[in-house]
Amino acid sequence: MRAQVYADALVKARSALAKGDGIAAEAPLRAAVRGGAKIDLVRAELGEALLMQGDRRQAREVLYGGNFAPASAAHGWHLRGRLELVEGHLPDAGQAFDRALRLNGNDPALWVDIARLRYTGGEQAQAIEAADHAVKLAPRDPRALELRGLMIREQYGLFAALPWFEAGLRVAPDDVGLLGEYAATLGDIGQYKAMLVVCRKLATVDPGNVRALYLQAVLAARAGQTTLARQILLKTGTKLRDLPAAILLNGILEYRAGNTNLAVGHFDRLLRLQPDNLQARMLLVRALRRQGLDVEALAAADPWAQQDFAPPYLLQLTGEAYVSTGRKREAASFLSRAQEVGESAVAPIQPGQPLGTLALAYGDAPNLAATAVPYIRALIAAGDDAQAIAVADRLQRANPGAADAWLLLGDTRLWADDKLGALDNYGRAASIRFNLATLLRIDDAMRSLGRTAEANAMLARYLRQNPGNPQALKLLAFGRRSLGDNDGAARIEAILQSRGLRNPL
């Protein structure tokens, strides 16, 4: 009889887990243990139920509290790995996944999590391979299709990702994760009516879903419906409090509504989270100036406005703030720089420690970005370009699947005036992840080599997959103008102006 109770409990729990209901899964398992079943027999399922509820502390106690039954050992080790991955313990997650893989190498859910681990650890190429393998094992698995869609979106672009999300939704039309990613991608390509339809479906399937609310708020903001966007965001409560994109949106909406003091608070908090976010810094400076707080605006602008790479809009705002404080000489300098036509000079970030100190740290861990990157900066500052390239090359070879490692090597070569070598490195990064950061580098390298037409063609290809991307549009406008196509540049400028993508001066 006891064996039958245990078997029934497992059936009920697994059914609830399949539906994503951790609470309903936990109850029969606890009852079975109270009835005399050994906890090792249900340890994996109970740990999964607790993880599903977000109770990581209890999940850890259960999953590490003893052994797993042989029949569930692979799943148990998989869940240990998932717990470690969620908590950011990547080496421990990898070890647990390896144990699970030895016990059951054909579990698509395990391969999905392995792909996530690899991606989080910077092994993007290996993550793509793992996601591909998961799809081959289970071509109709929603999680595998969702993850492959996310990676396709990074690797090739927005339009290329849509079929993967659509394939997943044909299998699981009410899947919350797929609906959220599909809606976000539709919004990014400008298909706002379709995005709204998917958001409403998401809200029906999962009432109060914060992602559906956020996306609808973004849509309302883009349409100029500030009051509606603010009302929608209020419904999210505190759930998006620490999400940078939501903080930025809140600041913009409060600024539009005339609540400049609230806008300043949002932009200031965002800068505490992301001190290098130039967009947020410019918005903060503009908001402070609207309040007449020009001294505070100058404090917020400095030292970024002093840098060679400072955007023209930041220079304009800084100059105007100096005018308002009566410092005409400083104002003239910044306003003059703001009017200069052309690209800002590239400048390396200065190292924060002496070269010798950074060399010692690098010697202890030469294959880690945390030690290699500061050392490379220091070598560049010291004029030792050859050694900087050697260090960047070693880091790339230690991390062959990381797009960022290829970008770093390309940056180092570009600084050493090896433009062709840099372009090759950037191209290798693009084969793994062709995002905006990669695009900007390839564009810069091509133009520095005089390959303006090729750079424009590449931008056009990028925009076919990622239509409406403001940075790519601005680059293409510059590129068309540099070839003498002023009409083409004017058409792109008209698009930017109509969408409010040019900073007001």
Listed in sequence order, the DSSP H helices in 189-277 are 192-205, 210-222, 226-234, 244-256, 260-273
Highest mean pLDDT among 84-93, 302-311, 334-343: 84-93
162 pLDDT tier (thresholds 50, 70, 90): very high
Tens-place pLDDT, residues 394-442: 999 999 899 999 999 999 999 999 999 999 999 999 999 999 999 999 9
pLDDT at 288: 96
pTM for the complete prediction?
0.85
87 pLDDT tier (thresholds 50, 70, 90): very high
How far is the C-alpha of 130 from the C-alpha of 97, rounded, in Å? 12
500 pLDDT tier (thresholds 50, 70, 90): low
Tens-place pLDDT, residues 477-489: 888 888 888 888 8
pLDDT at 351: 64
pLDDT at 19: 83
pLDDT at 142: 96
Tens-place pLDDT, residues 58-75: 999 999 999 999 999 999
CB 317 within 8 A of CB 285: yes
* pLDDT beyond 70 at 352: no
1 pLDDT tier (thresholds 50, 70, 90): very low
Report the range of poorest mean pLDDT among 27-31, 102-106, 305-309, 313-317. Answer: 305-309
Mean pLDDT of the chain: 91
CB 111 within 8 A of CB 102: no
* pLDDT beyond 90 at 343: no
Nearest Cα neighbor of 117 from 90, 92, 83, 147 is 90
305-322: average pLDDT: 89
CA distances from 3 to 24, 36, 454 (A): 21, 10, 70
H/E stretch holding 322: helix 312-324
348 pLDDT tier (thresholds 50, 70, 90): low
* pLDDT beyond 70 at 341: no
pLDDT greater at residue 1 or residue 499: 499
pLDDT greater at residue 207 or residue 498: 207
Structure tokens at 450: 């005089």
